[in-house]
Structure 1
Amino acid sequence: MTGPTLAVEGVAKTFGAVRAVDDLSFTVRPGAVTGFLGPNGAGKTTTLRMLLGLTRPTTGRTLVGDRPYTEHERPARVVGAALEASSFHPGRTGLAHLEVFAPQVGVSRQRCRELIDFVGLGPAADRRVGGYSMGMRQRLGLATALLGDPPAIVLDEPANGLDPEGIVWLRRLLRAFADEGRTVLISSHVLTEVQHTVDDVVIIARGKLVHASSLAALADLAEPQTYVESPDQAALQRLCEARGWTAEASDRGLVVTGVVAAEVGAAAYSAGVELHQLASRGVGLEDVFLRLTGGAS
């Protein structure tokens, strides 16, 4: 299965005096999981609604493959989407919710039963959705998105409300979809929530694109961090100052930014500063995210 390329081309959207999305352009490739990232209020959901034909752009256009989403004969069989985990009739059962959508998508009731089992809601299939937890509603939303076995999947904050086991399950599922060649786009306002899932990132802030690349390329923008402890904290602090290193207190030691552990260790040895701990903390991707988005949350 090969999914369609999703494209946002010069899109802007205004609501009165508010410009929610501002000249935004990016593409989402098949065979990969793309994280659509930005602080709350950055314009992510508005953009996804425009991609799915639920909101009309003020300017620009969005494409699913070679045409807008609404121009596909059966759109839900091309892109499966879940934008709001609360948009369910509370009086319907989980299974009945899927059965309401089945005729629109063109699938059988048997498909509904298969999917509700697939997302782990089999034991709760006949319970009313009003009694579902947030995590259960997330799973039901995903089942709805998968009704038509679509080659593209768009999910808005899909990890909200999931427990750790559910998050691992979701990661594996999205990875499997991408490995099948499907196009997968997921939004989040927390980079660390999706960094173990995505291949590519599209980051926006205040409705504008601030970064688009592979996750690996984003990591290249991050600075290494090293945690170090010494019985002579004052000497360690003086060493960092002499070297021009940025160091902040953390636990019983310091976190040195922009310097790898080997360099810190060599400098401490040369200066005669005894160390009790020296460990790399890798790269600070969340710091990169906050820097790109202006620290908004």
Structure 2
Amino acid sequence: MRTETDIVVDHLTKQFGSVKAVDDLSFTVRPGAVTGFLGPNGAGKTTTLRMLLGLVKPTGGHALIGGKRYEEIHQPGSTVGAALEASSFHPGRTGLDHLRVYAPQVGATDARCHELLELVGMTDAAKRRVGGYSMGMRQRLGLAYALLGDPEVILLDEPANGLDPQGIVWLRHLLRAFAAEGRTVLVSSHVLSEVQHTVDDVVIIAGGRLVHASPLQGLHALVESRVRLAGPAPDRIEALAAERSWRREPVAGGVDIIDVPAAEVGAAAFGAGIEVHQLADVGVGLEDVFLRLTSSPDAPASRGGVAA
């Protein structure tokens, strides 16, 4: 039976000189779920993860794992497994030797090292030197390292970098399996499309500040339905939309109608005898919502169910 170990980031701030890399950031990561920690490059994700791991001292606030700072955790490698960089390996060591070097620190056996290399699909490369590994292979080895102590909490920084499409699907299934076991999984990414089929919750930051925290469904709720209605008589189309009190935005040859079903728009145009050359769904997708949120970091944070 696994214990439930959450992550609580509480008014976390980090200032480097005149630059505030993380600005009064608060959110919670729950056990039994995969949480996507999202934001553009330079948003403060890696700095936040480094503060969680005690590698960077906060200017203010707290970053707690199971109610404790990382340095207060007894045998932290058995509680927290982290992979922040896929380049921090000695190039002259083999993949197996890399794990063997760190295994004693968490009480892992040689058999555990072999087991993990098999888990991450690296058995055939176990005795090759890491200097010859591809980026994707280094990512897999980093994950094996993070799992050495069979941790309750898994922190991964951009783990899909360098993985091919099959590798990304493999990673998705692995992270889902970890969450199903009751582990707390926090995965950072600057691309929502990489993780949207993997995560249960999302925490989005920009400019070091929280801009959104919710279950993934809460982000879906921000997706806007748009139907483009265009034709040779744009004035008549605009008049129809105004008559129906539809929320709309003008486009060439017609309007984009917001949050009205396409069937209703088409039926209204047909009933009004308006010639239509385009009736199409051009709705704003999840990636568009993500870009909108992260391009306006001064906007107030939106929260939809994840404590923040």
TM-score (norm 2): 0.86
Contact 1:11-1:24 at 8 Å conserved across structures: yes
Query: Which residue of the partner structure matches residue 103 of structure 1?
Result: 104
Query: Which residue of the partner structure matches residue 271 of structure 2?
Result: 270
Aligned equivalents of 1:141, 1:280: Cα separation in 2: 42
Query: Which residue of the partner structure matches residue 40 of structure 1?
Result: 41
Query: Which residue of the partner structure matches residue 22 of structure 2?
Result: 21
Within 5 A, what are the aligned runs for 1:86-125?
Answer: 86-125=87-126
Query: Which residue of the partner structure matches residue 221 of structure 1?
Result: 222
Query: Which residue of the partner structure matches residue 284 of structure 1?
Result: 285
Instruction: Tell me whether 1:180 sits opposite 2:181 in the alignment.
Output: yes
| Shift, 1:260, TM fit | 3.0
Contact 1:260-1:280 at 8 Å conserved across structures: no
Name the % identity: 67
Contact 2:8-2:67 at 8 Å conserved across structures: no
267-276 or 283-292, which deviates more: 267-276
Aligned equivalents of 1:135, 1:245: Cα separation in 2: 45
| Shift, 1:285, TM fit | 1.4
Query: Which residue of the partner structure matches residue 244 of structure 2?
Result: none
Q: Deviations over 1:95-118 (max 9, x none)?
A: 111111101111011100110011
| Shift, 1:282, TM fit | 6.3
| Shift, 1:70, TM fit | 1.5
Within 5 A, what are the aligned runs for 1:1-297?
Answer: 1-226=2-227, 234-235=231-232, 241-242=238-239, 243=241, 245-246=248-249, 258-272=259-273, 280=281, 284-294=285-295
Change (3 A) 1:115 1:74: same
Change (3 A) 1:121 1:295: farther
Query: Which residue of the partner structure matches residue 300 of structure 2?
Result: none
Give me the CA root mean square deviation: 2.4
Q: Deviations over 1:192-216 (max 9, x none)?
A: 2111111111111111111111111
Q: Deviations over 1:58-98 (max 9, x none)?
A: 11111110211121111111011110111111111111111
Aligned equivalents of 2:38, 2:12: Cα separation in 1: 17
Contact 1:246-1:258 at 8 Å conserved across structures: no
Q: Which runs of 5+ in 2 are unaligned?
A: 242-246, 298-308
| Shift, 1:237, TM fit | 5.3
Change (3 A) 1:286 1:240: farther
Contact 2:248-2:255 at 8 Å conserved across structures: no
Aligned equivalents of 1:257, 1:142: Cα separation in 2: 43
Aligned equivalents of 1:236, 1:97: Cα separation in 2: 69
For residue 231 of structure 2, give the secondary structure of its aligned residue in structure 1: helix
Change (3 A) 1:81 1:227: farther
Any runs of at least 4 consecutive aligned residues in structure 1 with deviations exceeding 6 A, and if so which? 274-277
TM-score (norm 1): 0.89
Contact 1:226-1:281 at 8 Å conserved across structures: yes
Aligned equivalents of 1:101, 1:238: Cα separation in 2: 71
Aligned equivalents of 1:237, 1:90: Cα separation in 2: 64
For residue 235 of structure 1, give the secondary structure of its aligned residue in structure 2: coil
Contact 2:231-2:276 at 8 Å conserved across structures: no
Change (3 A) 1:237 1:85: farther
Aligned equivalents of 1:18, 1:25: Cα separation in 2: 19
Change (3 A) 1:120 1:218: same
